[in-house]
Structure 1
């Protein structure tokens, strides 16, 4: 039987709670309620406790990211702003959507030429992640991005959160490109948002929080994915799976090899996404 840890500030107090940032054991007298999980007094003050190295004393997120000053949800705000800006441009600029939507290979009458990723327009895999056509589409995605992003960004840190978002969206786009009909277009941040949804499940499980609300949200979105018309289910599933894999490595990776596990997993997801793109391009060429 493993020994029950003791609070780092009160050695006589047994506890099963750990700080969401530095992971030191904390008792009920020391824990400070945060937006996601509990934090120790030292991390709340932005410092470290005694008996730790200077590096360990630097405030870190649960995933090991550096905690910086300023807006703790900066990346979430910037991503929402980028999506809204692209949406506005799409409403104003003629044929902007035709030039940026994800599509395998097809002749576009509006542009008068063949378009698609297989025709060398690889940028569509990225641009389509920020592209929305209907107001309800962007409203739903941005609401979920805000709801899920604020907690994840706090626990992962800015860089890791941004990487999670972009790789989830790219994985969703790659699976769509691989499996969808070559002339079927796809757009939206749903793949990236589904990655955040999967990451939230991993995070709440790590923090031993009630999973029922988020699992109900996952179930609802999967029902919409498979029973709502004109939805690219491949983007949703690809993003969800990528989000779970990446977040699990970021949140549950061993502390002594944390960087290797985290960035190695991100590299593997990126490599697999690129492989799917290359295979599809070869099939369409």
Structure 2
């Protein structure tokens, strides 16, 4: 049973370009200078968002980098990075590296480390819980399109989302979504079933992207259409729908906490939500293991 995600889409409506990134459309403007700013350039202010230049200029006469509390921040409160896609590149690299190992070693490697192993749910039920994590980095070595679609989706969706959230929050979202997808699959799949792939985590990124687009008042139709298309493939393509739905729900919940948390309690709400989703994942895993004896 395969676990795949596909494609991405762009807003068809004409929007101004970010003044610092001329290839990025945005519907948000700095509340001080009114220049258009993309999520990477947004710095949370008491009212709306400011651009990095206005934030730096708020303390005249001070040279060097701005104070810690006025550094340019993403919409979720993360630090603006020089390479906003670094973690996405690393995740793609890890997936590709593991895939090459799978090709070189064959199904012996995959059988030992995939989500449920080649004997159904017995591996996890016997205490090999690491498979809930390692399955996120494994793909069918006999189906190249599996990893191709997943990695293209990760690049198209993950890169902009990493820039909008910041590295730490993006990584937390990715793993929380992936583990939630693995746990729901473990709970609902037949004992003889098996699943592997990064799609649970990628569907979490889809869900968080939808929340972010809604938060920025962008046109929701492209992302909704994309999700509908992916869900159609999920339920009509012999794919592990449990991982997709689990990742999507976790991504929406976690993404909402990431972009809507009030500034004064941002870290508590954001990472507290991640902890609650992980706790629910643990409960699901324990319940399923008890069912299987």
CA offset digits 1:103-156 (Å, max 9, x no partner): 18937xxxxxx9510011111101110101121011111111000111111111
Relative to 1, partners in 2 of residues 1:42 and 1:217: Cα closer, same or farther, differing over 3 Å? closer
Question: Structure 1 residue 66: deviation in Å?
Answer: 1.7
**How far apart in 2 are the matches of 1:228 and 1:131?**
19
Question: Structure 1 residue 49: deviation in Å?
Answer: 2.5
Pairwise CA RMSD:
2.4
TM-score of the two chains, using structure 1 as the length reference:
0.82
**How far apart in 2 are the matches of 1:34 and 1:18?**
7
TM-score of the two chains, using structure 2 as the length reference:
0.80
The yes-or-no answer on 1:84 pairing with 2:96 is yes
CA offset digits 1:18-53 (Å, max 9, x no partner): 56xxxx6245xx3234377867774158836349x9
Question: Structure 1 residue 67: deviation in Å?
Answer: 2.2
CA offset digits 1:80-121 (Å, max 9, x no partner): 0011011111111130110111118937xxxxxx95100111
Alpha carbons 1:191, 1:239 under 8 Å: kept: yes
Q: Which residue of 1 aligns with 2:245?
A: 237
Q: Which residue of 2 aligns with 1:253?
A: 261
Q: Which residue of 2 aligns with 1:128?
A: 135
Number of aligned residue pairs: 254
The yes-or-no answer on 1:191 pairing with 2:200 is yes
Q: Which residue of 2 aligns with 1:137?
A: 146
Q: Which residue of 2 aligns with 1:5?
A: none
Q: Which residue of 1 aligns with 2:155?
A: 146
Question: Structure 1 residue 182: deviation in Å?
Answer: 1.7
Alpha carbons 2:42, 2:73 under 8 Å: kept: no
Gaps of 5+ in 1: 1-16, 108-113
**How far apart in 2 are the matches of 1:35 and 1:262?**
18
1:103 to 108, 116, 119: 116
**How far apart in 1 are the matches of 2:265 and 2:54?**
27
The yes-or-no answer on 1:201 pairing with 2:214 is no
Higher relative contact order (CA 8 A, sep 6+): 2
The yes-or-no answer on 1:178 pairing with 2:187 is yes
**How far apart in 2 are the matches of 1:218 and 1:68?**
29
The yes-or-no answer on 1:63 pairing with 2:76 is yes
**How far apart in 2 are the matches of 1:227 and 1:26?**
50
Question: Structure 1 residue 172: deviation in Å?
Answer: 0.2
The yes-or-no answer on 1:221 pairing with 2:230 is yes
Gaps of 5+ in 2: 1-26, 44-48, 61-65
The yes-or-no answer on 1:54 pairing with 2:67 is yes
Question: Structure 1 residue 72: deviation in Å?
Answer: 1.4
SS in 2 for 1:32: coil
**How far apart in 1 are the matches of 2:85 and 2:134?**
23
